Amino acid sequence: MEYKNIVLIGGNSGIGLAVKSKLEETGAHVFAYSRSGEAGRELDVTTDFNHLEGLPDVIDGLVYCPGTINLKPFHRFTVEDFRNDYEINVLGAVKVLQACLKGLKKSTSASVVLYSTVAVGVGLGFHASISSAKGAVEGLAKSLAAEWAPNKIRVNVVAPSLTDTPLAAQLLANEDKKEASNKRHPLGRYGKPEDIASATRYLLSDESSWMTGQVLHLDGGMSSLRGV
């Protein structure tokens, strides 16, 4: 990863901050953007834009972290709830990808990492809106992986289960909730930002150079195992 130019969207907290730290440890040049601007440059992905200020000429990697957790019974969701989740998770990624495409094409081994959720592959109640949005992210990633393969641009997705981030604070607000979450995962614990960051760094690195169009299920076994 040394000297690689990595564009990171949402690098000021949670998974994004852990990714930023992991990449900088390995000598990567991280160009970070966030809504607050604390991580680097300011960017609100819900606004209209077709370019990003301060992008490097050559982009070796792109990580899109913005996401939402909006959980409630389906009958309580509004169309605006669905629209908001789609705007942040999908359309924000689309705008960033289009703004970065020229730079990605100039790299000899570019890699894009997007984020989904375990709830796309596993039916989970109260997840209708976020599952719909993240399902679209997975479809987008696979289509772009096929389209961009001739340009040697890889596109992969990490699909975590519940991870201890500020976004998930209400779901892990006390010891009872933490213990209940631990029990839902075959490996006996919910995720840490560092878990996701390590997988992201792998997908950005040359060690995964023959991997594209894949969804990496990083979820403590939740998507494929039953507890004993």
Looking up tokens 């972290």 gives 65
Residue 113 lies in a domain: yes
Residue 223 lies in a domain: no
Average pLDDT over residues 97-108: 98
The pLDDT assigned to 39 comes to 81
Looking up tokens 């990171």 gives 8
Residue 224 lies in a domain: no
Residue 196 lies in a domain: yes
Q: Kindly report the pTM of this predicted structure.
A: 0.96
Residue 228 lies in a domain: no
* Residue span of the structural domain in which 146 resides: 5-218
Q: What is the pLDDT of residues 173-227, one digit of tens each?
A: 999 999 999 999 999 999 999 999 999 999 999 999 999 999 999 999 999 998 6
Catalytic one of 95, 134, 161, 208:
134
Average pLDDT over residues 99-123: 97
The pLDDT assigned to 68 comes to 96
Q: What is the pLDDT of residues 6-46, one digit of tens each?
A: 999 998 999 999 999 999 999 999 999 999 988 899 999 99
134 in catalytic set = yes
Average pLDDT over residues 81-90: 98
Catalytic one of 34, 107, 111, 116:
116
**Number of domains present in the structure of the chain:** 1
21 in catalytic set = no
Residue 227 lies in a domain: no
CATH code of the domain in which 107 resides: 3.40.50.720
Residue 137 lies in a domain: yes
Residue 226 lies in a domain: no
